[in-house]
């Protein structure tokens, strides 16, 4: 991932090339979540992703072997070759040592599925250029290591066994390929530009993307990154987006396929962008935006790639809070794990995934398939479905009477998820909304969820969909 903490980029909803749009408008396909034989329209392509609300990000590569440490410094991550200024020939010696025998794709997918993560995005190639599959387009990849196995094949197969949609991250930037430009300034003397050709590199990039999209079955998302350098312009992004859809018409693309405005989600509404959804990094936008699809990608600690010195792990309540916040604003959460150099998962990551699994087993229906809150300014988060409102209560209110202002429809049932099926909470209509009388104690130690069910879609006159703070 990028080290651009404040660089939030997003795109307005799907402004694809006309060729891709024509293909998508009349291609018979089941889709990743559709019925057999359905016509694959643009809305159908996005349906599974919008309903998912929660996915797993996996950052894994040769850099994990260094565990974030170089020459006594321990604050590096997946950018270690660049940030520690490791010469290419020295970094290449890691090829002969890469042997992550503890990498278990089945366990990874099982943990994701149990935690309610409906899709998994893994780094096929990060900025260092090393590929986790045996690419025919080059030699800097897993087939030339002691490990030798196709990690993408293992991940794709494991995801499908566990009902998780496999998705690929792929870096546009490549510090290893001789034709990628610009060179890092610190290595220009050792690696002069010479006859390097960015056009030739683009052909290599497209060949690898084609392999990834035509070898492993349906791929849900092509998640690009590293697009911000001057050599990668909007036109190159257009061409790459078209190439993706020529290979796989139903695959979604994130906004980083091309350079985007740097000043937030709102800026992208003023001009068309590329990609199906925006990708705020390490933050959740202050407000959701109606009609704009977005996904916040966030780490469990402070690094994307494994760093043994990074112990700043987010607590389970913090992670649940991030998930409920993104869902209440109409977005998705892509939560990262970074396997160690031997392929095993840090126990802190596993502990948090298992905690999320316990919470999502009971409360997942308040996240999956929901939309943004119709309320504005409430002290708690809310998601909505067609005939349901879900209220997230990480702190139990001191007053047992909970007001939903502006709600003008009396619920047919009010209950706490995870409580006894026979439990029914009192709910009554008042002048300024609906008041629910809560039980004396919370139903969950991490975050209780109050669900209100209605005979028809409830009427709410405060705020607008997607505008919850």
Would you call 451 exposed, middle or buried from its count of C-beta atoms within 10 A (0-12, 13-18, 19+)?
A: buried
Same domain assignment for residues 275 and 393: no
| Confidence class for position 43, pLDDT limits 50, 70, 90 | low
For position 422, what pLDDT does the model report? 82
* Whether 414 and 358 share a structural domain: no
Pairing relationship of beta strands 252-253 and 295-299 according to DSSP bridges:
unpaired
What residues does 263 pair with on adjacent strands?
Answer: 8
| Cα–Cα distances in angstroms (integers) from residue 249 to residues 2, 217, 226, 237, 468, in the given order | 28, 12, 23, 16, 33
pLDDT digits (tens, 9 = 90+) for 336-355: 999 999 999 999 999 999 99
Rg of the chain, C-alpha, whole Å: 23
Task: Please determine, for residue 305, whether its predicted confidence score (pLDDT) is greater than 90.
Answer: yes
For the segment 160-178, the average pLDDT, to the nearest whole number, is 98
Q: Are residues 362 and 385 in the same domain?
A: no
- pLDDT over 50 at 9, yes or no: no
Q: For residue 61, is it within any domain?
A: yes
Residue 15 has pLDDT above 50, yes or no: no
Task: Tell whether 461 is covered by a domain.
Answer: no
Q: What is the mean pLDDT of residues 363-367?
A: 98
| Residue 401: strand, helix, or coil | strand
| Alpha helix stretches (DSSP H) within 329-451 | 347-363
Domain shared by 443 and 403, yes or no: yes
Residue 233 and residue 98 share a domain = yes
Same domain, 182 and 275: yes
Residue given tokens 């989600």 in the structure block: 265
Distance of CA 211 to the CA centre of its chain: 22
Evaluate whether residue 9 is within a structural domain: no
**Across 307-330, average pLDDT:** 98
Residues 402 and 291 in one domain: no
Domain end among 341, 366, 391: 366
pTM recorded for the entire structure: 0.90
Q: For residue 201, give both structure tokens.
A: 């590199």
Rounded CA separation 305/164 (Å):
22
Residue 325 has pLDDT above 80, yes or no: yes
Report percent pLDDT > 70 for the chain: 86
Residues 284 and 324 in one domain: yes
pLDDT at 416: 97
Residues 136 and 202 reside in one and the same domain: yes
The total number of structural domains that make up the chain: 2
DSSP per-residue string spanning 28-96:
E--TTTSPTT-EE-HHHHHHHHHHH-EEEEE--SGGGGGTT-BTTB----TTHHHHTT--HHHHGGGGG
pLDDT in tens, 248-290: 999 999 999 997 655 445 444 434 468 999 999 999 998 887 7
Q: Give the per-residue pLDDT at 42.
A: 62
Q: Percent of the chain, pLDDT > 90? A: 81
- Res 67: pLDDT: 98
Average pLDDT over residues 183-195: 97
> Among 151, 143, 295, 152, which Cα is nearest to 214's?
152
Non-local (6+) Cβ contacts of 285 within 8 A are 8, 10, 264, 265, 294, 296, 329, 331
Report helix angle 42-52 to 18-25, nearest 10.
90
Residue ranges of E strands in 158-287: 165-171, 221-225, 252-253
**pLDDT value, residue 176:** 98
Q: Count CA within 13 A, CB hemisphere, residue 84.
A: 23
Please provide the average confidence, as pLDDT, over all residues in the chain. 88
Domain that residue 385 falls in: 381-453
Give residue-wise pLDDT tens across range 433-446: 999 999 999 999 99
Residue 13 forms part of a structural domain: no
Q: Judge contact between 390 and 460, C-beta under 8 A.
A: no
Q: According to the model, what pLDDT value does residue 261 have? A: 57
For residue 183, pLDDT over 50 is answered with yes
Asked whether residue 144 falls in the same domain as residue 209, the answer is yes
Sign of CA dihedral 315, 127, 116, 417: positive
Token digits of residue 366: 């308040």
Is the bond leading into 182 cis (omega within 30 degrees of zero)? yes
Q: Is the pLDDT of residue 13 over 90?
A: no
| CATH code at position 329 | 3.20.20.80
Q: What confidence tier does 466 reach under pLDDT thresholds 50, 70, 90?
A: very low
**Coil, helix or strand for 344?**
coil
| Mean pLDDT score, 23-45 | 40
CATH label of the domain that carries residue 390: 2.60.40.1180
Whether residues 360 and 393 fall in one domain: no
Both 356 and 436 in one domain: the answer is no
Does residue 373 belong to any structural domain of this protein?
no
What is the pLDDT, as a whole number, of residue 207? 98
């Amino acid at each position: 991932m990028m080290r651009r903490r404040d660089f939030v980029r997003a795109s307005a909803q799907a402004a694809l090339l006309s060729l891709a749009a024509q293909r998508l408008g009349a291609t018979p396909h089941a889709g990743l979540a559709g019925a057999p034989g359905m016509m694959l329209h643009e809305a159908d392509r996005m349906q599974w992703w919008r309903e998912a609300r929660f996915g797993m990000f996996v950052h894994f590569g040769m850099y994990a072997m260094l565990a974030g440490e170089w020459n006594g410094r321990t604050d590096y991550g997946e950018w270690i070759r660049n940030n520690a200024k490791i010469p290419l020939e020295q970094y290449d010696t890691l090829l002969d040592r890469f042997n992550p025998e503890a990498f278990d794709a089945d366990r990874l997918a099982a943990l994701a599925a149990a935690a309610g993560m409906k899709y998994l995005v893994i780094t096929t190639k990060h900025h260092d250029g090393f590929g986790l599959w045996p690419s025919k387009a080059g030699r800097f990849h897993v087939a030339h290591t002691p490990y030798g196995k196709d990690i993408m094949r293992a991940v794709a197969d494991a995801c499908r066994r566990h009902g998780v949609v496999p998705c690929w991250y792929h870096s546009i930037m490549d510090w290893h390929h001789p034709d990628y430009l610009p060179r890092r300034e610190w290595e220009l003397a050792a690696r002069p530009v010479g006859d390097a050709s960015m056009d030739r590199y683009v052909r290599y990039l497209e060949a690898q993307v084609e392999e990834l999209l035509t070898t492993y079955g349906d791929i849900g998302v092509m998640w690009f990154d590293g697009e911000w350098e001057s050599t990668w312009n909007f036109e190159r992004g257009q061409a790459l987006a078209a190439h993706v859809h020529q290979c796989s018409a139903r695959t979604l693309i994130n906004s980083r396929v091309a350079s985007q405005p740097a000043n937030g989600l709102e800026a992208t509404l003023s001009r068309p962008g590329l990609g199906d959804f925006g990708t705020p990094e390490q933050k959740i936008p202050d407000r959701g935006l109606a009609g704009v699809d977005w996904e916040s990608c966030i780490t469990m600690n402070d690094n994307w790639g494994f760093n043994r010195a990074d112990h700043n792990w987010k607590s389970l309540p913090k992670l649940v809070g991030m998930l409920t916040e993104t869902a209440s604003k109409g977005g998705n959460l892509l939560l990262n794990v970074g396997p160690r150099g031997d392929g095993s998962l840090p126990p802190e990551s596993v502990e948090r995934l298992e905690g999320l699994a316990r919470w999502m087993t009971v409360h997942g229906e308040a996240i999956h398939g929901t939309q943004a809150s119709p309320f504005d300014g409430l002290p708690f988060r809310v998601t909505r479905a067609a005939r349901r409102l879900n209220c997230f209560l990480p702190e139990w209110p001191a007053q047992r009477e909970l007001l939903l202002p502006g709600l003008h429809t009396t619920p047919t049932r009010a209950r706490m998820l995870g409580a006894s099926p026979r439990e029914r909470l009192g709910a009554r209509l008042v002048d300024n909304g609906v008041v629910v009388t809560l039980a004396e104690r919370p139903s969950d130690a991490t975050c209780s969820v109050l669900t209100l069910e209605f005979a028809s879609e409830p009427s709410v006159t405060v705020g607008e969909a997607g505008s919850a703070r």
